[in-house]
Structure 1
Amino acid sequence: MSRQSGFTLVEIAIVLVIIGLLLGGVLKGQSLIDNAKIKNVIQQATSLQAAVNAYQDRFRALPGDDPLATTHVPGATGNGNGDGQIAEYQLAPQHLALAGLITGSFNGTTDFMTSAHGGAVYIFNDAVGGRSGNGIRFDNLPDTYAAELDAKLDDGKPDSGAVRATGPYTNNGTIITRTAIFF
């Protein structure tokens, strides 16, 4: 007569506890990665706003809108119209880079910056969430990132304040088409 052997309840419980700890560690690790990306996006927004302010202080014009950019920053491929609106958004990163205020090489026509999440970043005069004006626009951020950005820099509401979004913060991973920080 053969005797069957199997796992005891204690052994099964220990395995389940180990699996739970592993899953908890993976989820916590993902949370740490997401928080680092959010902090990177916030740091990028703060740095870009400081660069725009420095450019404006130095040249008395906004990057991208500077009517004398080819004189102010040799190598610029174009000038803005000087109307106070950064509608010439493709020139803005080039003007900032040539002035030494941001890093990168921009051709002034098709280049854009990218966020820590991988979406496009523009310095732009735009309308987002019922407000328009000059600002920094992040495209295709998950709503959780946009909500955190808004909570840390403004009032946490997608349709009021200086940080606006094209959709609500549902915290379910929905992609927000545009999130803008107006200055």
Structure 2
Amino acid sequence: MNRQQGFTLIELAIVLVIAGLLLAGVMRGQELIANAKVKSLASDFRNIPTYFYGYQDRFRALPGDDRAADTHLTGGVNASTGSQTQNGLIQGAWDSKTATDESFLVWQHLRLAGLATGSVNMTSDQYLPRNSEGGRVGVASVSTLGAVPANTFNTAHAMCSDGILGRYATQLDSMLDDGAGNSGAMRILVSGVAGTGEAAPQAASPYLVCMSF
């Protein structure tokens, strides 16, 4: 006599409970990873302006804009030169790769001053700072940002961080500013497109995030 095999209600209930626990664990793990990424990105926006002002307090000049950097620092430093040197502005594109731009020199000055970590060799692949998502990080005068129209920010300088997914950018804005990507000190921008910020960033699209300081 054949006996029909199958799961009992208790067995099915146990399987469903286990599946639910596994799913909850996966979702919780993803949430923890996302929170860790946002905290890492936020630390850049908090720390880099601190380094910037630390250099200013120590040498009475801005990193990158310091015409006496070769006397203030040692270790192959490039002193800023030119008619606009030490005018209180970090000139050049925020993501400049030009060795004579102040926005490029700023990293060598900060690192040689012991305020920031990283390579001081400007020809090294490790010289240009990057965020935890692999996007470029930079500092520049708000007048040379390009992506942000004039009068968007009410301070002289801004820090920008590229390649940040919209869901992380929105969390950053809520954590560090007013929670709106098109107002306040932090703006969520489409890379390469001028604008005052995105009010509703797409969660899975990468953005350029700039914050004035």
Q: Is the structural similarity TM-score above 0.5?
A: yes
Number of the residue aligned with 1:117: 133
Runs (5+) with no aligned partner, structure 1: none
What count of residue pairs does the alignment treat as equivalent? 182
SS in 2 for 1:124: strand
Instruction: Give me the whole-angstrom Cα distance separating, in 2, the residues matched to 1:78 and 1:64.
Output: 8
The one-letter code matched in structure 2 to 1:140 is G
Flag as ranges the 4+ runs of structure 1 deviating above 3 A.
Answer: 127-130
SS in 1 for 2:184: coil
SS in 2 for 1:173: coil
Number of the residue aligned with 1:79: 80
Distance 1:31 1:61, change over 3 A: same
Number of the residue aligned with 1:40: 40
Pair 1:156 & 2:157 matched:
no
The one-letter code matched in structure 1 to 2:204 is G
Pair 1:175 & 2:206 matched:
yes
Instruction: Give me the whole-angstrom Cα distance separating, in 2, the residues matched to 1:15 and 1:108.
Output: 58
SS in 1 for 2:23: helix
Using the TM superposition, give the Cα deviation of residue 107 of structure 1 relative to its aligned residue in structure 2, in angstroms.
2.3
Per-residue Cα deviation, 1:54-98 (whole angstroms, up to 9, x for no partner): 111122222112222222222212415223332222111110000
Instruction: Give me the whole-angstrom Cα distance separating, in 1, the residues matched to 2:9 and 2:65.
Output: 72
Number of the residue aligned with 1:27: 27
Higher relative strand content: 1
Pair 1:144 & 2:167 matched:
yes
The one-letter code matched in structure 2 to 1:79 is S
* TM-score, with structure 2 as normaliser: 0.77
Number of the residue aligned with 1:65: 65
* TM-score, with structure 1 as normaliser: 0.88
Instruction: Give me the whole-angstrom Cα distance separating, in 1, the residues matched to 2:202 and 2:21.
Output: 25
Alignment RMSD (CA, Å) = 2.0
